[in-house]
Amino acid sequence: MKLAVLGSGSRGNAVALRTQGHTLLVDAGFGPRALERRAEEAGVPLAPLAGIVLTHEHGDHARGAAALAARHDCPVFASAGTLHALAGGGPRSILLPPYGGALTIGPFTVSAARTAHDAREPVAVAITSLAGHKIGVAYDLGRPTAAVRHLLRDCSVLLLEANHDEVLLRTGPYPASVRQRIGGSTGHLSNRAAAALAAELCGPRLEAVVLLHLSEQCNTAVLARRAVVAALRERQFRGRVLVASQTTPLAALSLRGPSQLTLALPAAGPTPPAR
């Protein structure tokens, strides 16, 4: 299995997973051509596209879904609330299973759990490959619900929101109402909350944590990574902590065996060297 974050932040999010010659996209928050270009840059071709799984309807996650699905003639998978908010989600939309269930999409198995974010019926997702690698994708979390925490146990790679530094959010440029929305229990996860969640979810199979959806105003890659690395160090975590960027795809993590992970990082990536 290969996975690449094609971009992440308030201006667009997409994660591409590829195994057995098929690609699955989690979110499509860029236009279809931008998604194809970013996937190519990341070294994970989109075609053939088995489907697009949407976490929720906000434009930074769903903007390109309908057009890309039409271009690749593939289904869009989402919760009932998300599909409703997207006016049905297109002719080939399919409901994600309720929490506790699983859906097979080609060589991928997808499970979902409701998040507390301020959208119609937002979810975090976990995708398992035939080889048993489990990838968790959880952003726009608000606060981590019990269902989300259960869904994300035993992941090989955890892609987790680290939206803001709490001090930078308090002292940053946003008006009080926006600060309250971002930092509230239906908004976004702070670095501190992401660090606590990553530490809680750190199990023997966890090989890499990728931090997503960093605020460009109220966070930096260094602050986010420092918080999460410190928390994971206490759990004796020996894997990698990477930070996804809004502008540049983070290419491409390859998981080859049950516990072997080979990382190929982009030359100009925003991730500081490992300590």
Give me the residues that bind Zn ion (CB under 5 A), please.
58, 60, 140
Q: Which is nearer to Zn ion, 59 or 91 (CB)?
A: 59
Between CA 71 and CA 261 the distance in angstroms is: 32
Q: Which is nearer to Zn ion, 58 or 134 (CB)?
A: 58
Q: Which is nearer to Zn ion, 165 or 207 (CB)?
A: 165
> Residue 83 CB, nearest distance to Zn ion (Å)?
16
> Residue 140 CB, nearest distance to Zn ion (Å)?
4
> Residue 56 CB, nearest distance to Zn ion (Å)?
6
Q: Which is nearer to Zn ion, 124 or 208 (CB)?
A: 124
**Of 120, 118, 52, 113, whose CA–CA distance to 86 is shortest?**
120
> Residue 84 CB, nearest distance to Zn ion (Å)?
16
DSSP 8-state code for residue 93: E
Determine how many CB atoms are found less than 10 A away from the CB of residue 246: 17
Q: Which is nearer to Zn ion, 216 or 234 (CB)?
A: 216
Question: What SS3 class is residue 14?
Answer: strand
Beta-bridged to residue 157, according to DSSP, are: 135, 208
Q: Which residues contact 176 (CB under 8 A, 6 or more apart)?
A: none
Using DSSP bridges, classify how beta strands 2-7 and 14-19 pair: parallel, antiparallel or unpaired: antiparallel
> Residue 60 CB, nearest distance to Zn ion (Å)?
4
Using DSSP bridges, classify how beta strands 240-243 and 250-255 pair: parallel, antiparallel or unpaired: unpaired
User: Minimal CB distance to Zn ion: which residue?
Assistant: 58
